[in-house]
Structure 1
Amino acid sequence: MLLLLASTLSASRPARAEDPLARDVNGLTFDQFIQKTLDDYGVPGAVVVVVSDKGTEFLKGYGVRRRGETALVDGDTRFQIASMSKFIAATAVGALVDRGVVSWDAPVTTFSPDTVLAEPYATQNVTLRDFFAHRTGLPAYTDDLLPQLEFSFDELLHRARFQPFDHSFRSRWAYSNYGIFLGQYSAARAAGMSPPQVLSSTMLEPLGMTRSGPVQAELFKDDNRATAHNIDGTVMPYENVDKFSGAGAIVSTGHDIARWMTMLLAQGTFEGKPVLSKDTVTEIFAASMVQGPGGPLNDPNDSAGLGCESYHFLRWRVIEKNGALNGMRTIVTLVPERDIGIAIFANKQMTVFPEAVRAEFLERVLAPSGRDLQKQIHEEQKGWFALLDVPKPPPDAKPLSRDLDAFAGPFVSPLYGSLTVVRNGESLAVKVGAHDYPGQLTHWSADSFLITFENPDVPPGLLTFAFKEGNPRATGFDGSRVPNVYTTSYGHFDRAQ
């Protein structure tokens, strides 16, 4: 029976008759809604925390840490919080802004001259606001192979100059994990710290987030951690993105994240002590770049803040950041005008369970939207799962006209370093970087192959090999995206001499 029961961890304040979370809506309290939704989406375990500017209002674990076992999720269960880390990273850098170490709007070159981008104008003018609002010109959803290649922080900073832009500086929003890392590391260098040290010393430690940490190793300090689960419920490997630090590496718990949320809702103060200035909290929440339609009501002016986004739900402005890593989903949502917020962590791949719980919360504490948001989010689940689909070759694909040996051999890119194409019988594989990170090549059409990796968060891409007349071996290849699916371009590689 324990597997069917949620583990109640704390209800910091007794339920009141006027409490919207205790109110019966469609026959369910909020607690009952969460349990039903957990079951509906087949999520093994989750934690939900609601806070105000005064502290924790509701905190409860649901389900199990690992499917098939009896250990329950509770408020101290460690989760990888994925891209929610970006929001915390922005607040950590905000503490450096308050100290006068860096500025949101001064050119980064004034305090980190080694931060160089591919475009000289961008190098001279890029700011921390540009990096944290995803408006630098770096390509969207690319470079996620880099943290798997075991480069040092300095090497990752150096290689940024080799990443071509695919749109003009500040011309539009384009989500970039690499960009968040570059902003965080530039600020860290100015402070004489490493990226993890910035997260710990300016935010996690001052807030007493004792079961949180800036690197994956925090997960393994004891057994109370959430296991990553795939779509089918099977266990999958944890993803390590420590090299991109605040872009996705933070580990936290329900109890700990409540402290950080309370600080933000209290305009930078926690337990009577200032952690951030009110002005810095305002700057982090401020709209710095329009993203396009977003939020549960598809606000046409959903905007990027610093490490977060904002949209309107009816008449209220909402601040939010979600996240996804292998087998993990997270979301944090704040309504500053109402001094209330919610965070949801779940241990299942690409589930929309967090969005479903968040939408129910907003309708209960603000007002009904007039839409069937649960049906809408349920339909969106297919799109989330589709992000993991491997593209199929086009129906008019041209046959392979060369022996596979023509494609084999060593290649090199200034951005990614070495890549070796290896023939395995009638197939091709790749080994990337000094530590031979593995991938596969599948024939696409003519001299093009689709490159894929076991880690689903490293997106596929097309590689089109080039040949010179009289030379039976490929002289290099160019990367490109597959239109209308989640893929990336791996740029240009030359055959190594």
Structure 2
Amino acid sequence: MIDLNVKPVKARPFVILALMLLVPLGVPASETPGESAPLDPSAFSDVMIPEGRVEAAVGQLDAMAEAALETTGVPGMAIAVVHRDRVVYLKGFGLRSLDGEARVDDETVFQLASLSKPVAATVVAAAIDRTHGERAGLAWDDPIVRHLPDFALNDPAITSRVTIADLFAHRSGLPDHAGDLLESIGYGRAEILSRLRFYPLAPFRASYAYTNFGLTAAAEAVARAEGTSWERLSQELLYSPLGMTSTSSRFADFISAPNHAIGHVRRDGVWVVTPEVREPDAQSPAGGVSSSASDMAQWLRLVLGEGMLEGKPVIGAQALARIHAPNLMSSPLHGPSSRPSFYGLGLGVSVDSAGRVRWSHSGAFLLGASTTLAMLPSESLGIVILTNGQPVGAPEGVAAGFLELVETGEIRHDWPALFGGAIARLYAETTAFAETPSAPAPARPLDVYVGRYANDLYGPAVVEATDAGLVLRLGPSPIALPMSHFDGDAFTFRPIGEDALGVSGAVFGFDDERAASLQIEYLDEEGLGTFRR
């Protein structure tokens, strides 16, 4: 999901207006027995959807999906649409892998990436509902340390107050994507969560920043309270009750599934099978779920049905409703006429151009997955799209075009191009080391750089000299990263893994004849990337 930090909105001046909108003129706010519920003008849209419009839009999905694959080159896609508690569309397109001929179908298992977050939110809602009324029951507003006593952030006062809901809403003050780079260099879940305390914090509950490992910490707290692992809890409370037989929160289950889609990346304009399959177990609640379009259709039915499936309650409506209640603005206003977007608990919440509430989320792995879902709760309509290619806007473009067809009867915008351009800009390589100087200063003798450096957040960095030059080793199980001379005491290397967006600089600092520090560019986004000998 594309999210940017924003400042909070103060709602107090609008309280009276909001109350007026919630109570229709001439209709009492309360109802007596036998009366129908009062109408809610805030739920109205003046852009009506006539009968048959959804069916007509569904009828164009085959062509839209095939065009998206043809235009972008993404190998495979699966789509599910739910309307009024019925699965009205379920289909796969393209190939599971470019190395074979197996086709994608509605049971093909894809990595969900960040669609795991709304799925995880429903697991937490189910756990809260199950313990409702118990003396030690769970609640969205439980402090994390009540269930995960070793958890800590940079400020002890915030550590004691931050709740499950705060971390699912990305409003703890942790920086954007805090912990992701730790995962990329090989740390596991427990170690990453223990290192969140080293990050500086923005204002608590007043700033939005999207974090995989903040949400993961909240999920871990819930699992700890339930006396089980997150993976087992998800299976017990959600996947099994919904009959989601292809869904798992374990990477091993995904990779062993006979009918799974392998990831693909684009290299020099050509799509190839990913050289490294994304293994997201460390952030399983935030990005580690794998599922099929068929299974995700059941999840859509559950959420749109307010916790009901096949006429039976699965999750209490009250616990579930918290996930789509807005908390903070999640994207900036671009002018006085732009509409704000908000974030609930693991789910995006907005009002679309037709005046309807829309719930949505996207997921992406640079190593080969791109997914999206969108729901119009007023129409009991939802769509989920799964693909096995790196993010280029394909699923978002199809989903946006489908909903525009539903609401207006035509596609008025080139959604694939709009989303493709936005995503390309988001993932554009940004480095001060892209172009080699025309006359670089020579390096010092390599042995003055060699040594072991340390960083509170990232741990050790070891620099070694080999016959081919310097090698950098990062993380708990160090992988050799060859370094190339750039200019003077500056070198470059190519990071690997999910966060590898190109070349990174590595600059040595000196107090005397031997290097005393090493500043690594791609680890320095929060000013935390300096290692000291």
Equivalent residues of 1:144, 1:458 under 8 A apart:
no
**1:415 Cα shift?**
2.4
Separation in 2 of the partners of 1:206 and 1:120? Answer: 39
Structure 2 equivalent of residue 410 of structure 1: 452
CA RMSD of aligned residues (A): 2.9
**Would you say the 8 A contact 2:84–2:379 is kept in 1?**
no
Of 272, 278, 282, the residue aligned with 1:243 is: 282
2:150 aligned counterpart, secondary structure:
coil
Matches within 5 A, 1:25-40: 29-40=60-71
Answer yes or no: is the 8 Å Cα contact 1:292–1:300 preserved in 2: no
Which digits, 9 at most, give the CA deviation of each residue in 1:61-118, with x for residues without a partner? 1111112532110011010010111111111112222224432223222232211111
Q: How does 1:340-355 map to 2 (within 5 A)?
A: 340-355=381-396
Distance between the aligned counterparts of 1:138 and 1:385, measured in 2?
25
Q: How many Å apart are 1:427 and its aligned residue?
A: 4.4
The aligned counterpart of 1:391 is 431
Aligned to 2:529: 491
* Alignment: residue pair count: 467
Distance 1:22 1:144, change over 3 A: same
Q: Distance in 2 between matches of 1:424 and 1:489?
A: 30
The answer to whether the aligner puts 1:306 opposite 2:341 as a matched pair is: no
Match of 2:327 in 1: 288
Q: Is residue 73 of structure 1 aligned with residue 104 of structure 2?
A: yes
The reply to whether residue 219 of structure 1 matches residue 262 of structure 2 is no
Aligned to 1:345, what secondary structure does the other structure show? strand
Corresponding residue of 1:339: 380
Q: Do residues 63 (structure 1) and 102 (structure 2) align?
A: no
Among residues 185, 190, 193, which one is paired with 1:157 in the alignment? Answer: 193
Letter in 1 for 2:529: G
- Structure 1, 237-246 or 139-148: larger mean CA deviation: 139-148
1:440–1:453: 8 Å Cα contact kept in structure 2? Answer: no
SS at match of 1:466: strand
Q: Aligned letter for 1:255?
A: S
User: For the residues of structure 1 that align with 2:452 and 2:70, how far apart are their CA atoms?
Assistant: 49
* Corresponding position of 2:165: 129
Aligned to 2:53: 20
Whole-angstrom CA distance in 2 between matches of 1:329 and 1:199: 22
Report the 3-state secondary structure (helix = DSSP H, G, I; strand = E; otherwise coil) of the residue aligned with 1:240.
Answer: coil
CA contact (8 A) 2:490 2:508 kept: yes
Letter in 2 for 1:96: A
Change (3 A) 1:216 1:24: closer
Tell me the residue number matched to 2:38: none
CA distance 1:403–1:195, change in 2 (3 Å): farther
User: Which residue number in structure 2 is paired with residue 269 of structure 1?
Assistant: 308
Equivalent of 1:93 in 114, 118, 124: 124
Partners of 2:117 and 2:152 lie apart in 1 by: 21
Q: Deviations over 1:320-369 (max 9, x none)?
A: 11001111100011111111100001111122111111111111222369
Offset, 1:187: 1.8
Deviates more, 1:474-483 or 1:177-186: 474-483
Q: Distance in 1 between matches of 2:112 and 2:480?
A: 26
Paired letter, 1:23: A
4+ long deviations beyond 6 Å: 394-398
* Cα offsets for 1:231-267 (capped at 9, x unmatched): 2211113101101111111110011111111100000
- Structure with more contact order per residue of length (Cα contacts < 8 Å, sep ≥ 6): 2
Q: Distance in 2 between matches of 1:159 and 1:24?
A: 48
Shift of 1:491: 3.1
Find the partner of 1:319 among 359, 367, 373.
359
1:309/1:427 CA distance change after superposition, 3 Å? farther
CA–CA distance in structure 2, aligned partners of residues 135 and 42 of structure 1: 37
The 3 A distance-change label for structure 1 pair 29 and 203 is same
Return the offset for 1:392: 4.9
- Segment of structure 1 superposing worse, 142-151 or 117-126: 142-151
The 8 Å contact of residues 181 and 523 in structure 2, kept in 1 or not, is answered as no
Distance 1:143 1:448, change over 3 A: farther
Residue among 209, 214, 218 paired with 2:244:
209
Please give the TM-score of this superposition, normalised by the length of structure 2. Answer: 0.80
For 2:141, the equivalent position in structure 1 comes to: 105
- Measured in 2, the distance between the counterparts of 1:444 and 1:118 equals 35
Structure 2 CA distance for partners of 1:380 and 1:321, relative to 1, 3 Å: closer
User: Residue in 2 aligned with 1:234?
Assistant: 272
2:207 & 2:442 partners in 1: Cα distance?
A: 39
Greater alpha carbon shift after TM alignment, 187-196 vs 246-255:
187-196
Structure 1 portions without partners, runs of 5+: 1-16
For 1:123 and 1:451, the matched residues in 2 are separated by 36
What's the CA shift for 1:159?
1.9
Q: What is the SS of the residue equivalent to 2:183?
A: helix
Deviation at 1:148, TM superposition (A): 4.2
Q: Percent identity, please.
A: 30
Cα distance in 1, alignment partners of residues 452 and 265 from structure 2: 34
Match of 1:200 in 2: 235
Give CA-to-partner distance per residue, 1:18-45, whole Å, 9 cap, x none.
Answer: 54355389xx823222212221111211
TM-score (norm. length: structure 1):
0.85
Structure 1 residues 190, 351: closer, same or farther in 2, change over 3 A? same
Q: Give 2:19's aligned residue.
A: none
Contact 1:104 1:127 in 2 (8 A): yes
- The CA distance in 2 between the partners of 1:350 and 1:431, in whole Å, is 29
The one of 22, 37, 41 equivalent to 2:72 is 41
Any stretches of 5+ residues in structure 2 without a counterpart? 1-49
Higher deviation after alignment, 408-417 or 418-427: 418-427
- Once residues 58 and 404 of structure 1 are traced to their aligned partners in structure 2, the CA distance between those partners, rounded to angstroms, is 62
**Secondary structure at the residue paired with 1:145?**
helix
The reply to whether residue 465 of structure 1 matches residue 508 of structure 2 is yes
Relative to structure 1, the CA distance from residue 394 to residue 211 in structure 2 (aligned partners, 3 Å threshold; closer, same or farther) is closer
* Residue aligned with 1:104, SS: coil
Shift of 1:145: 2.7
Q: Retained in 2: the 8 A contact 1:481–1:488? A: no
Q: Is the 8 A contact 1:408 1:423 kept in 2?
A: yes
Q: 1:158 to 1:365 in 2, by over 3 A?
A: same
Q: Tell me what 1:173 maps to.
A: 208
CA deviations on 1:382-413 (whole Å, 9 max, x unpaired) are 44235153635277967455334333222222
Q: 2:398 aligns with which of 329, 341, 357?
A: 357
Instruction: Choose 1 or 2 for highest CA Rg.
Output: 2
